[in-house]
Structure 1
Amino acid sequence: MSIVTLIGSGQMASALTFPLFENGHEIRLVGSPLDDEIIDRLRKDDYHVNLRRTLHSGVKYFKLNQVEEALKNADLVVCGVSSFGVDWFADEILPILDESVPLISVTKGMLDNEDGSLTTYPEYWENKLPKDSKLKIYAIGGPCTARDLSDHDYS
């Protein structure tokens, strides 16, 4: 069983807990600075107030001040912050990640550069890393909503 730590407890990251948990992984869901109420409710009864779904009872929930505990021995880290949290993630989370653990982003969107080009969030984060960093950053995309994913309604 792999340990998967998801940072940001928004809808898509929380929806990803369904296939991850159902495939035998240990799931650690960490709230962003804006997610304390979501984490409090999940700890109470596993119900996600924005996703409007009940997560599996085996998912472990962490507030941001517990992020280092949630990252301990993780085999995979998933960035589940919204596009508004991209800079926060770069400034606060990237520096504490183990470079040997891959990072996958489910953050939707791209950055529109002044020259008209587009930058993916993984590219943006890679540019924020020290030049000698070995951290590998990937992204998941596709035509799927968080509720479809949590309901097993595959597109």
Structure 2
Amino acid sequence: MQSKKLLVTSLLVFLLSPVVTPTVQTVKASTDTTTAVTVPVKESDYNSLKEQRSIWTKIAKAALKKAIQNRSAVINAVRSVSGRTVANQVDRYYGAIVNALKPLLEWSEVPAQAVYDAVYRSVRSAGASNSVATNIALAIREAVSWIL
């Protein structure tokens, strides 16, 4: 399972990483000597990368939607990542987890730490202990990254 994730991640990074080459302009002086001048990078040069930057946000939001809609997929993913005990705790606090994940769908970018923080706060406020909330938050963060 880990080798599949590594393979998929490396292929995505390879396919989506931009190829950067410096822009060099050759200027011919009146003395017949050639000099190279580096052209500064402009803001408009980054417009072509907008689609590549937003693909990760689309993947994260799709994973969050899948986690909200499919309880059994989340529990099975947590069971494979963290074991049966944590999966049972996720099943118990699933409503609090969904309530924590729904506001993240409105964000323009969703970092993994935000998923962890939101789930931790929600489970903690639902009455779980510190260690249980930490275990659930870590497992959900990993499970969301594995759902796709």
Scaled to the shorter chain, the TM-score interval is under 0.3
Q: TM-score, normalised by structure 2?
A: 0.21
Q: TM-score, normalised by structure 1?
A: 0.21
Which structure's CA Rg is the greater one?
Answer: 2
